[in-house]
Amino acid sequence: MPDTNESNKTTSKGISRRNFFKGAGLLAATAAMAQLPLTGNNTVQAATANSINDLYEISKDFKRFDQKNEMFCRMEWDPKFMPPPKPLINTSMPGYSVLDQAAGFAGWTGTNSLGTQFGWRSGDEGFYSWASLGNTKPPQEPWQASPEEAAHVIKLYAQDLGIAATGITTVDIRFFYSHYFHRGTKKYGEIKISDTATKAELLPDGTRVIPSSMKYVIVMLASMPYEMMATAPYGVSHGGTGFGYSIMALYAATMAEFIRGLGYNAIPLGGDTALCVPQAIAAGLGEAGRNGMLISKVGARVRIFRVMTDLPLATDKPINLGVREFCKSCEKCARECPAQAIPYGDMTTEGPNISNHHGIKKWYVNAEKCRLFWNENGGITCIRCIATCPYNKPDGYWTHALGNKIAPILGGTLVTIDDMMGYGKIVETKDYWKRPLRN
């Protein structure tokens, strides 16, 4: 494995009691100075906006992104990134034992099996089938409810399935891919929203057509296991990432089948068809962080999936959680990135290469550097940018929830507290496997 940053090399065996209470005291003191409540369900209210345009500067000549230029797709046609034979990592190396690698690759079972291998990136396969999987039958007459009632039902169903958060938005064609690219077959074609189509389909010329009546997008978040992610970039963390993708495939298919059973059309989406982060932002689920990922209202450790439908739904508004203000002074993910693919400094409107969607003022991650590190890491995903983010915390401690809520106020101070408490340090897998079971 290539060397990571010096600060990453410190083994974390957990947070010491002394550091926990020291950090809790600092958080409490800061909250008191900011006159923020500590107990109950009190929260700092996020400011809402009418549209994503109110939160982000988007250029007038902003163009739809061609999926063929996405980093995963470039691995299939760009000689620079076509993956060489994966190096067999010596299983005697710490973090890459037989145990670690078995846990890592097994985590991808749900997304790489049952015909879903390419569905999560290319769409319309396996769990991401655009046609019914046959588990529900459409009624003679579609279920009727007001958009508000229907949105409540969808969110309640998602909540009980275990989905971390759900928001609803409408189609914004700017964030749909102009073309799709199938990593398995190498098929390439346009994506069109049609006013005349009655169902989503693939035309003989390779064009994918989506009816304009399917204008509602249910955006959902799946959580990844905190303890597994803390071992990044070692083998176990690969399983945490894969498990996130695996459960989102099942969740997406389940929600799509539920809606089909109500008598409406539904298309489950993984990372295909349209950009995930802008749709999540538009659905009021969070903001884009310095690491290019969604920093959501339930934290940073999430995967995004969606279902498009013609079921009329009340929509949500984008929110300003203060994430970008915090990211301006934090830079922890940039500091800890083994590939140094995350930028320091201010937001820009241009990224470093063709895998960036230019024209939005934000931080652009260099996906080329990121992918090359993955190759050097034996094909194992890195995900240090999520594991080290101060918004990434285990559930259960009031200090964690409070810290996330007052992060924009604390700014760089929270990073100091975060470092002091040991968050973001690589958990060695030998310690991961020795943890006591939860009660």
Q: 437: buried, middle or exposed (CB in 10 Å: 19+, 13-18, 0-12)?
A: exposed
- d(Cα 253, Cα 251) in Å, to the nearest integer? 5
Residue 10 has pLDDT above 80, yes or no: no
More confident of the two residues 48 and 200: 200
Beta bridge partners of 312: none
Provide the CA 66 distance to its chain's centre, in angstroms.
20
Residue 256 has pLDDT above 80, yes or no: yes
List the structure tokens of 92. Answer: 């005697």
Judged by average pLDDT, the poorest of 20-34, 103-117, 312-326, 410-424 is 20-34
Structure confidence by residue, pLDDT tens digits, 176-215: 999 999 999 999 999 999 999 999 999 999 999 999 999 9
pLDDT of residue 148: 98
Nearest alpha-carbon partner for 330 in 205, 424, 266, 265? 424
pLDDT of residue 109: 96
Q: Which residue has the tokens 């929260």?
A: 43
With respect to residue 150, please indicate whether it lies within any of the assigned structural domains.
yes
With respect to residue 71, please indicate whether it lies within any of the assigned structural domains.
yes
Q: Please state whether beta strands 47-48 and 208-211 pair in parallel, antiparallel, or not at all (unpaired).
A: unpaired
Residue 281 has pLDDT above 80, yes or no: yes
Q: Please state whether beta strands 319-320 and 216-223 pair in parallel, antiparallel, or not at all (unpaired).
A: unpaired
With respect to residue 1, please indicate whether it lies within any of the assigned structural domains.
no
- d(Cα 19, Cα 375) in Å, to the nearest integer? 36
Residue 100 has pLDDT above 90, yes or no: yes
Residue 20 has pLDDT above 50, yes or no: no
pLDDT of residue 362: 97
pLDDT of residue 417: 83
Alpha-carbon distance values, 71 to 26, 68, 363, 407 (Å): 41, 8, 17, 31
What's the pLDDT band for 255 if we cut at 50, 70, 90?
A: very high
pLDDT of residue 44: 42
With respect to residue 94, please indicate whether it lies within any of the assigned structural domains.
yes
Judged by average pLDDT, the poorest of 23-32, 168-177, 332-341 is 23-32
Alpha-carbon distance values, 372 to 5, 6, 59, 180, 339 (Å): 16, 20, 30, 23, 8
What's the pLDDT band for 6 if we cut at 50, 70, 90?
A: very low
320 within 8 A of 49, measured Cβ to Cβ: yes
pLDDT of residue 12: 42
List the structure tokens of 135. Answer: 């588990």
pLDDT of residue 378: 87
List the structure tokens of 162. Answer: 């275990």
With respect to residue 149, please indicate whether it lies within any of the assigned structural domains.
yes
Q: Please state whether beta strands 208-211 and 294-296 pair in parallel, antiparallel, or not at all (unpaired).
A: unpaired
Q: How many domains does the chain have?
A: 1
Q: Which helix (H) or strand (E) holds 106?
A: helix 98-106
pLDDT of residue 414: 78
What's the pLDDT band for 30 if we cut at 50, 70, 90?
A: very low
Question: For residue 326, what are the domain limits?
Answer: 6-432
With respect to residue 438, please indicate whether it lies within any of the assigned structural domains.
no
With respect to residue 439, please indicate whether it lies within any of the assigned structural domains.
no
The single-letter code of the amino acid at 276 is: C
- What is the DSSP annotation of 347-376? -BS--SSTTS--SBSB----HHHHHHHHHH
Nearest alpha-carbon partner for 225 in 408, 427, 72? 427
C-beta neighbour count of 151 within 10 angstroms: 22
pLDDT of residue 47: 81
Mean pLDDT in residue range 86-112: 90
More confident of the two residues 285 and 29: 285
Percentage, residues of the chain above pLDDT 70? 85
Whole-number average pLDDT of the chain: 88
With respect to residue 237, please indicate whether it lies within any of the assigned structural domains.
yes
Hey, what's the torsion of the CAs at 169, 175, 176, 179, to 10 degrees? -170
More confident of the two residues 7 and 330: 330
Q: Which residue has the tokens 């894969």?
A: 242
C-beta neighbour count of 261 within 10 angstroms: 16
Structure confidence by residue, pLDDT tens digits, 325-380: 999 999 999 999 999 999 999 999 999 999 999 999 999 999 999 999 998 898 89
What's the pLDDT band for 167 if we cut at 50, 70, 90?
A: very high
Cis-peptide into 233, omega within 30 deg: yes
- d(Cα 374, Cα 383) in Å, to the nearest integer? 10
56 within 8 A of 361, measured Cβ to Cβ: yes
pLDDT of residue 90: 86
The 3-state DSSP class for residue 269 equals strand
- d(Cα 294, Cα 341) in Å, to the nearest integer? 17
218 within 8 A of 168, measured Cβ to Cβ: yes
What's the pLDDT band for 35 if we cut at 50, 70, 90?
A: very low
